[in-house]
Amino acid sequence: MVNKRVERRTLKKRKRKKWILITALLLVLGVVTYTTYEYIAGKEAAEDQVGKSETNSKYEDEFQGVDDDLGKTNVLLLGVDSRGEENSRTDTIMIGQYDPDKETAKLVSIMRDSYVNIPGHGYNKINHAFFLGGPELLRQTIQQNFGINVEYYAIIDFNGFTQVVDTVAPEGVEIEVEKYMSHNIDVELQPGVQRLNGKELLGYARFRHDRDGDFARVERQQKVIKLLKDEMISFAGLFKLPRVVGTLEPYIDTNMKTGTILSLGKDFLLNPVDNIETLRIPIRETAWDSTYSHAGDVLEFNEAENRAEIKSFLNVE
């Protein structure tokens, strides 16, 4: 009798383990199926707007990204008006850093009129480096002037930004608009707390026609990114990640593989960062306006102070 009881218990344990294993496999299969479906759905919806996306990055072969060897991921983030345009200037220049071990995220905005030494071309506005040699020359320019290496780049069409916002927050993103805005942003915004859709939020982030000009514009861009971060790390945001990646793909030129993007996104969502630390370069107190015949109106700055500040902020020795 004892042996039979032992056999029955053993059989029950085996059946229980079997069903646990089957359930786990079904869950994995369900997650994979859901992720694939959402990614493809997002990509197809975006391609209906812009056409089929290319499989290879325009600049990938020439970009010589450098790993910082400290376990952090540094990405050169560039915003442009129209993807694929030859010899365009980038309207937004940022360096995003994510440290999964310390669960920290940092964002450096480099003002586009910053007067820097472009390797092989002399001094000019930093966004002129992209015009002359794409993200690789811009990477070299940032390394030479600020001592910062980046491993990846992502050139994002502003239309892609609006699509991502509408995917992540279909009811809009709540934000306080400080003043009336309309000049050169294709929308009209009234002051006050309100929910903005993708096009409106892009207009808010790009507005620069006030007393503070680009300084205030950069602050608004960083503010918008922090708000989108909060949307993405919400419970609903976790399930939207695959569709967001698919939606963004036709609008982005990057040397990051889809698997890398999903992996970083998963880590960011499962280990959310409480706050994105931000820095604007040049530091306002160290900068002054100048004009040159070959570059027009530029923003000059104390190079040594700003180099030290950005290296300290990103923990670069």
Give residue for tokens 């069409």. Answer: 157
Per-domain residue ranges for the chain?
A: 73-313
The domain made up of 73-313 has a fold known as Aminopeptidase (3.40.630)
Q: Is the pLDDT of residue 49 over 90?
A: no
Q: In whole angstroms, how far apart are CA 179 and each of 167, 182, 195, 208, 291?
A: 26, 10, 15, 12, 29
C-alpha torsion sign, points 304, 306, 310, 312: positive
d(CA 253, CA 54): 9
Q: Is the pLDDT of residue 10 over 60?
A: yes
pLDDT of amino acid 178: 94
Q: For 290-311, how does the pLDDT look when each residue is reduced to its tens digit (9 = 90+)?
A: 999 999 999 999 999 999 999 9
HEC string of the chain equals CHHHHHHHHHHHHHHHHHHHHHHHHHHHHHHHHHHHHHHHHHHHHHHHHHCCCCCCCCCCCCCCCCCCCCCCEEEEEEEECCCCCCCCCCCEEEEEEEECCCCEEEEEEECCCEEEEECCCEEEECHHHHHHHHHHHHHHHHHHHHCCCCCEEEEEEHHHHHHHHHHHCCCCEEEEECCCECCCCCCCECCEEEEECHHHHHHHHHCCCCCCHHHHHHHHHHHHHHHHHHHHCCHHHHHHHHHHHHHHHHHEEECCCHHHHHHHHHHHHHCCCCCEEEEEECCHHHEEEEEECCCEEEEEECHHHHHHHHHHHCCCC
Q: For 64-96, how does the pLDDT look when each residue is reduced to its tens digit (9 = 90+)?
A: 999 877 778 999 999 986 544 555 668 899 999
Q: Are strands 73-80 and 152-157 parallel, antiparallel or unpaired?
A: parallel
Considering only residues 11 and 191, tell me which one the structure prediction assigns the higher pLDDT.
Answer: 191
Lowest mean pLDDT among 3-12, 129-138, 150-159, 200-209: 3-12
Q: For 127-138, how does the pLDDT look when each residue is reduced to its tens digit (9 = 90+)?
A: 999 999 999 999
pLDDT of amino acid 238: 61
Proportion of the chain above pLDDT 90, given as a percent: 47
What's the average model confidence in pLDDT over 161-185?
90
d(CA 157, CA 214): 20
